[in-house]
Amino acid sequence: MPMTELNGAPADLDQVKALALSNYGHFTSMRVEDNRVRGLSLHLDRLRRDCRVVFDAELDPDRVRTLVRKAVADWTEAVVVRVTVFDPSLELGHPGAAAEPQVLVTTRPAVAQPLPPIRVQAVQYQRELPAVKHVGLFGLVHQRRAAQRAGYDDVVFTNRKAQLCEGATWNIGFFDGENIVWPDADALPGVTMALLNEVHNGDVDTASIDLAQLCEMKVAFATNAAIGVRQISAVDDTEWPDTHPILDVLRKEYTDIAAEPL
């Protein structure tokens, strides 16, 4: 029963038209099960932080929780909720006007986890404002489409120094045989990544990881709120075994995290 609600009421075409035409706003996506969300506080913090950057305005996290709770009230299975913050009255020609951000909530069924491994292509590309989860998705979708047309499942981005940054809609992590390692290049600070860093019982590092160093890694994986922890079987021509114990460890650590009530 997917739905689209603006400020708690069914959204109509005129209300969401501005989002399609101006493509200016920010969002977060979260997996809701039994009215609970892993890392809910981090999702709300992201929305507040990004609202200040994008709109120079404050966002009430309690109001967001209320709107999400209403949107998932009739769901009995796991659902992915996207909370998009935008201003329908903000004109493309005058984006500098004072903004009054509104909250758009959309829902869709969540996929079962874990998902199968993916093969990804490395492409030099960087999102605008990489630290912000904004709605400017054309570039990354174009890169994902090109990778899939080339026979890959998805795409991972590198900077001009060929250092790994992030996937199209996920963070990329590695296991070097001793530690979990995240690239330290510019990327969105993911909620799932942050949660794993909090609960992982081993060491966690950040480092510059270029394409030539991939062969030194034992495992690669992708993380986000919708997919949890997903194995990456190959980046370009660098391949990893189909299974590794660390993947089961990370998945268990993640699923064992106590979800917060809406």
pLDDT in tens, 42-98: 999 999 999 999 999 999 999 999 999 999 999 999 999 999 999 999 988 999 999
Measured CA to CA in angstroms, residue 18 lies from 14, 44, 88 at distances of 8, 24, 5
Q: By three-state DSSP, how is residue 105 classified?
A: strand
Same domain, yes or no: 189 and 237: yes
List, in order, residues 6 or more apart from 65 with CB less than 8 Å away. 40, 44, 262
Q: What is the CATH number of the domain that holds 123?
A: 3.20.10.10
Same domain, yes or no: 105 and 125: no
CA atoms within 13 A on the CB side of 173: 29
Same domain, yes or no: 197 and 232: yes
Report residue 5 as tokens.
Answer: 């609600």
- Phi and psi at 146, nearest 5°, equal -60, -40
Q: What is the CATH number of the domain that holds 48?
A: 3.30.470.10
Measured CA to CA in angstroms, residue 201 lies from 103, 178, 209, 223 at distances of 37, 12, 23, 18
Instruction: State residue 243's pLDDT score.
Output: 85
Instruction: State residue 202's pLDDT score.
Output: 73
With a pLDDT cut of 90, the percent of the chain lying above it is: 92
Task: Please tell me the distance from the alpha carbon of residue 183 to that of residue 181, in angstroms, as a whole number.
Answer: 7
In 75-227, at which residue ranges do the beta strands (DSSP E only) sit?
79-86, 102-109, 118-124, 154-158, 164-167, 171-175, 179-183, 203-207, 219-224
Same domain, yes or no: 135 and 250: yes
Which residues, in sequence order, are bridge partners of residue 121?
155
pLDDT in tens, 180-208: 999 999 999 999 999 999 998 778 999 99
pLDDT in tens, 219-228: 999 999 999 9
Neighbours of 174 (CB within 10 A): 26
Indicate whether 216 pLDDT > 80: yes
Cβ–Cβ under 8 Å, residues 185 and 208: yes
- Predicted TM-score (pTM) of the model is 0.96
**What's the total number of domains in the chain?**
2
CA 66 from chain centre, in angstroms, equals 22
Same domain, yes or no: 90 and 192: no
- Please report which confidence band the pLDDT of residue 143 belongs to, taking 50, 70 and 90 as the band edges: very high
Same domain, yes or no: 142 and 96: no
Q: Which residues of 212-234 are buried (b: 16+ CB within 10 A; e: fewer)?
A: ebbeebebbbbbbbbbbbbbbbb
Instruction: State residue 209's pLDDT score.
Output: 97
Nearest Cα to 187, choosing from 236, 128, 143?
A: 128
Same domain, yes or no: 39 and 124: no
Identity at 19, one-letter amino acid code: L
pLDDT in tens, 96-124: 999 999 999 999 999 999 999 999 999 99
Tokens 């903004």 sit on residue: 99
What is the domain extent for residue 242?
Answer: 118-261
- Strands 36-37 vs 26-33: parallel, antiparallel or unpaired: antiparallel
Task: Please tell me the distance from the alpha carbon of residue 224 to that of residue 46, in angstroms, as a whole number.
Answer: 14
